[in-house]
Structure 1
């Protein structure tokens, strides 16, 4: 089966030169697209279009030139940078939205009027709050007796460690395959215990990088000195979903076993988000401003 046609960069340049008033938004994936579309419709916006970056052909060679990785996030960034460079006049409504990811940690920034970033590490982190989780626990899981605030606090301790371990892999350019939490995480009473050293050893062994252990741990400790108070900037969205699934697995009634699947959990968490709450966030405020006449 032939793959879906991807627009060439030159085609998009011509499109926005000829029609600079188009209200087009480019995002990383389908979940981002669905959430942005829903939010804008809730806020009465019309005549806009949201596209996933897979609809655009971003050559790997161009990513290399820009010192970007070959992933959806960096393709969005590449598109924004090249649009700003190539267009004779920047359309005021054209927008690219990318996850902040590790940028705060690596002190990396981009000068680009077209490009907006999530307020936190990723779009999923707008789900990491008491209102969303309490609604999900009560209506989705039937677990209204669990202390949501404590759960978020306990999860964050593990998730921040995982974030820094991922960031260390990124900083060292090891390109290692991720490791499942497995037996490195356990629940003692109501507290979550994460065996960081054991996880790192297994992670390195899995990727035949055990000889890099000292360098890895030294870089990890260095990154830990770069502090930021906002928890949601220090947690990866997919890790949040995966660890939440692990946490609730043994607490669910048989009728709720579909929530063992991270995809089901992610979808149902999205259903618990209120547009009014998103509208308080800086990214969504800026997006509404950019789409204003």
Structure 2
């Protein structure tokens, strides 16, 4: 960690005092540095005159995982953001200088809580990545970044991979519900995924769960089947953000491998493709969502 970043870090209590003593400042603390880049870009375009500083929680907050878990949140960046926001609000409930943004994650099925705390905001969907789970964003990625042939249609890809993404979400939810240490999804489940144009694949829930828990799956398949997407619900609340590009890569590899040739080889690495996808953002699309509207209102009211 660089000295500059280390000097920026404060305890939640120190941040609370800062926000109280300097109500004119505007600061947003988020889960990761990719989130920082997206939000900084958005506000630089929509409100260039507003001086807002954006930080990833690991670059701004000094809080131990033990304290996070003692407050009932899972260890990790999401838990750090929520716990810090809660501590700040408990000390200065009306502060308007500091905002916090966390992923909604599995709130739709009750596995992750989204507490109502002043200054704390949640993504409209499971995570930031799902703001780009739409035909327009994917079409731009395919045409500009991957230079895909015209026959490669964004709408057809989304229709093909959506059921797979929901299956992976359900598998991860089953694993998440197991006692600690919670098993992770076996890497081979996605690494060896093969997807046909129509969306049929070699993904098998029983096999994926068995590989992940390395043991019996008694009762786990029943839990898997019990997780359903309610009629009319937004499917983006039932998809893991990082799975989107991981499955997209497997689909393209299976059906259109030419999009990863020459200088585009590096884009076959899902985290890199994910960064490229974020550049397809359009201000107008983000401005219409609850998170960006609420965050804008909060920041523009800071110091009033």
TM-score (norm 2): 0.87
Q: Distance in 1 between matches of 2:200 and 2:13?
A: 51
Q: What residue in structure 1 maps to residue 160 of structure 2?
A: 154
1:179 lines up with 2:191 in the alignment: no
Return the match for 2:90 from 74, 85, 91. Answer: 85
How far off is 1:264 after superposition? 2.2
Distance 1:160 1:135 in 2: 23
Matched, 1:139 2:147: no
Structure 2: segments with no counterpart, 5+ residues:
none
1:73 positional shift: 0.6
Q: Is the 8 A contact 2:89 2:95 kept in 1?
A: no
Matches within 5 A, 1:47-196: 47-54=51-58, 55-87=60-92, 89-106=93-110, 108-143=113-148, 144-174=150-180, 175-180=182-187, 181=189, 185-193=193-201, 194-196=203-205
Tell me if the contact between 1:26 and 1:95 (Cα under 8 Å) persists in the aligned partners.
Answer: yes
Contact 1:168 1:216 in 2 (8 A): yes
In the aligned structure 2, how far is the partner of 1:75 from the partner of 1:226? 30
Q: Separation in 1 of the partners of 2:197 and 2:230?
A: 31
Give aligned pairs, total: 287
Take 1:183 and 1:41, find their aligned partners in 2: how far apart are those partners?
38
Partner of 1:278: 286
Structure 1 residue 8 and structure 2 residue 16: aligned?
no
Distance between the aligned counterparts of 2:242 and 2:219, measured in 1? 26
Q: Is the 8 A contact 1:241 1:262 kept in 2?
A: yes
| Compared CA separation, residues 189 and 167, structure 1 to 2 (3 A) | closer
Residue 199 of structure 1 aligns to a residue whose secondary structure is helix
Q: 2:206 aligns with which of 189, 197, 200?
A: 197
Equivalent residues of 2:185, 2:209 under 8 A apart: no
Q: Which residue does 2:33 correspond to in 1?
A: 30
Deviation (angstroms), 1:149 = 1.1
When residues 49 and 189 of structure 1 are mapped into structure 2, their CA distance, relative to the original with a 3 A threshold, is closer
Unaligned runs of 5+ residues in structure 1 are none
Contact in 1 for aligned 2:104/2:114 (Cα 8 Å): no
Q: Structure 2 vs 1, CA of residues 97 and 2 (structure 1 numbering), >3 Å: closer, same or farther?
A: closer
Displacement of 1:41: 0.6
Q: Cα gap change, 1:61/1:183 in structure 2, threshold over 3 Å: closer, same or farther? A: closer
Does the aligned pair in 2 maintain the 1:21–1:91 contact within 8 Å?
Answer: no
Instruction: Supply the distance in 2 between the matched residues of 1:163 and 1:185 (Cα, whole angstroms).
Output: 15
CA distance in 1, matches of 2:126, 2:191: 26
Tell me how far 1:239 sits from its aligned partner: 0.6
Question: For the aligned residues, what is the CA RMSD?
Answer: 2.1
Q: 8 Å contact 2:114–2:122 — kept in the other structure?
A: no
Shift of 1:2: 7.4
